[in-house]
Amino acid sequence: MNRNQFHIVFFGIVMLGAVLRVWGLDTHSLWSDELSSWHRSHYDNIAAVLERAKEDVHPPGYYIVSFWVQQLMGDSEFALRFPSLVFGVVSIGLLMMLGIRLYSYREGLIAGLFIAVFWFPINYSQEARPYSALLMFSLLSMYLWWKILKAHREDEKCSIWT
């Protein structure tokens, strides 16, 4: 597979995952945990969001992102679930990059295809909860940690994107 074909397949897998995550994003009503996310992020300012987040077991980062999305897009079901959608789509690309880094292009693309079409990651990308953010930041930290270890082992300067 040449470089152009790889980029087309990579982009196609990410787009497939994005379409599956957008499909039906606002067809279901918000359920109790999603309403809790709305309640913890629906205030007039960030200070109030942070104060309310102290009562929750989840870190406040998701609620801050949700607060800003609500400021820009309103508080529709689509807008409340949009941050999870973005985190989920980014996770597809990150898993492919990690798979390529650890194994090969083939395994990276297969892993990306799996996360793009499996029900569980799609479901969490369609909920107004921080679970897809957890997946994305876990993959990002694994990718960056691998880059740091490789650069240290080879005694090189660490660049994030190469």
Q: Between vectors from CA 75 to CA 70 and to CA 80, what angle results, nearest 5°?
A: 75
* Chain segment 105-119, per-residue pLDDT in tens: 999 999 999 999 999
pLDDT at residue 43, rounded to an integer:
87
pLDDT at residue 1, rounded to an integer:
77
Residue 29 has pLDDT above 70, yes or no: yes
Alpha-carbon gap, residue 130 to 58, rounded angstroms: 8
Query: What integer is the mean pLDDT of 8-19?
Result: 98
34: which 2 tokens?
A: 């999603």
Alpha-carbon gap, residue 107 to 78, rounded angstroms: 33
Coil, helix or strand at residue 74: coil
Whether 122 and 20 have beta carbons less than 8 Å apart is answered as yes
Query: What integer is the mean pLDDT of 49-64?
Result: 86
Alpha-carbon gap, residue 121 to 133, rounded angstroms: 11
* Chain segment 32-55, per-residue pLDDT in tens: 888 888 888 888 899 999 988 888
* Chain segment 86-103, per-residue pLDDT in tens: 999 999 999 999 999 999
Q: Is the dihedral of CA 68, 36, 45, 52 positive or negative?
A: negative
Residue 77 has pLDDT above 80, yes or no: yes
Confidence of residue 56 (pLDDT cuts 50, 70, 90): confident
Residue 162 has pLDDT above 60, yes or no: no
Nearest Cα to 126, choosing from 74, 72, 89, 157? 89
